[in-house]
Amino acid sequence: MNHTAKKLLVGTVGAAGLFLATTATANADTTHKVAKNDTVWDLSQKYGVSIQAIEALNNIDQNSHLIVTGQTLKVPAKDAQVSENNNTAQAADKKADTENTSDVTVKAGDTLWTLAQQYNTSVEKLRELNGLAADAYLIHPGNVLKVNGTVQATQQPAQTEQPVQQQTEQPVVQQEATQEQAQEPQLVVSANHTTHTVQAGESLYSIAQAYGVTVDSLRSANNLGATLLVGQTLTINDPAKDPAQEAAAQQVAQEQAAAQAQQQAAAQQAAQEQAAAAQAQQQAAAQQQVQQPVQNQAPAQTQTQAPAQQTQQTQQVQQQAQPTQVQQPQQQVVSTSADGSAIAAYAQSFIGTPYVWGGSTPSGFDCSGLTQYVYAHFGKQIGRNTIAQESAGTHIPVSQAQVGDLLFWGTPGSTYHVAIYLGGNSFVAAPEPGQSVKIGNMAYFMPSFAVHVN
């Protein structure tokens, strides 16, 4: 009898120990490693515990409810047991609640939490009825949602947890901002980095292009949301470009272009003045040649004729001289020994003359008409078209061209454009219909070969 009592006592003590061990295990705290997008409210729903219990156990600020990705939290088990009992009761009522389901159209300002309070249900039930994700918060005006329950005329807090829950049920934008703040300490800043302050009108794409980086690198370096804010400071990791240097280089290029334009304008004006002076000298020389015979005859006529006859003869000589001056061609031939600089200067005097197909006068030129007219002015006949002008001298490479030489585009025998070389990378030509005679740059339109006119 004593032996049986001892066995019974040992068995009772063992069962009690097993019960205590089970109770201890059930009451032991559970740990949870915070994942991306986790919130205290999510964990309270997942583990069936109150928000206050989690925050009190882990010393979490009950105003910001801030948790950080990778943080290990303790989840109290006591509330979990209460939650299991509550879940059992909820499962029992689920069928009855489902039978009382109705449709609601979402209005501006509605949230899952306000609808749950209005219809005396929970956010979880609304998610389950409508197939929403466990972390879904956004609903849009016009959405039709299923709800179970009836509209409550007076809203009373069902439990002390609701005010805290209401604080955590904030719009998605606020939750994302909280999550960004939680992730900020984990940002990695490259040793080669700079910062940029967002200006009005800028976008992630334009900023990425300016610094030579990708949009993804901007997002990962700054944990950006859906929008940029003017005045926001961004971190740029490993920039391939410096917008400030590029802006300075662009400004220098613009200044150089403006200076070059001024130089070209000055050169053009000087060429026009030189050509005008040369033309004036030619006209004076031609007039002197016409008047010289009159001056030679005047002494003899003074000795043999009366003053009246001398006056009459002088007038006749002048009348004879005038038709001779009018009948001279408009283009004066200067000399066959003119140097290339004079040819280049005379060609530049026609800058601004309109392009005319087949034109060969100052009223309008095509490319070969201009070169023919300029060289004819110096007594050189080079032909009318580009093919003929190829044979006007010696073929040389463009690198050996001298000022005043002809530049050709196309293969010999099939050229399609001609110009007069000005030195450096410049040439003067009548380019194409709709344009005028102007100075071109070989850096943008390289000739095929050159001809030095014999």
Closest listed residue to residue 90, CA positions, set 123, 53, 51: 123
Sign of the C-alpha dihedral computed for residues 343, 345, 351 and 353 taken in this order: negative
Phi first, then psi: give them for residue 260, nearest 5 degrees: -65, -40
User: 175 and 137 in contact (C-beta within 8 Å)?
Assistant: yes
What local confidence, expressed as pLDDT, does residue 117 receive? 87
User: 136 and 179 in contact (C-beta within 8 Å)?
Assistant: no
Q: Cα-Cα-Cα-Cα dihedral of 116, 121, 123, 126, to 10°?
A: -90
Could you state, in chain order, the average pLDDT of each consecutive group of 10 residues for the chain (454 residues)?
47 43 50 89 87 88 85 76 56 56 85 86 86 80 79 44 46 51 62 90 89 88 79 90 83 81 76 75 71 52 46 46 41 58 95 95 96 95 95 95 96 96 96 94 95 92
User: 404 and 421 in contact (C-beta within 8 Å)?
Assistant: yes
Residue carrying the six token digits 């926001």: 232
What local confidence, expressed as pLDDT, does residue 61 receive? 85
What local confidence, expressed as pLDDT, does residue 16 receive? 43
Whole-angstrom distance, CA of residue 323 vs CA of residue 327 = 6
Whole-angstrom distance, CA of residue 189 vs CA of residue 202 = 23
Assign 68 to helix, strand or coil.
coil
What local confidence, expressed as pLDDT, does residue 291 receive? 61
Q: Considering the entire predicted model, what is its pTM?
A: 0.32
Name the maximum alpha-carbon separation found in the chain.
Answer: 189
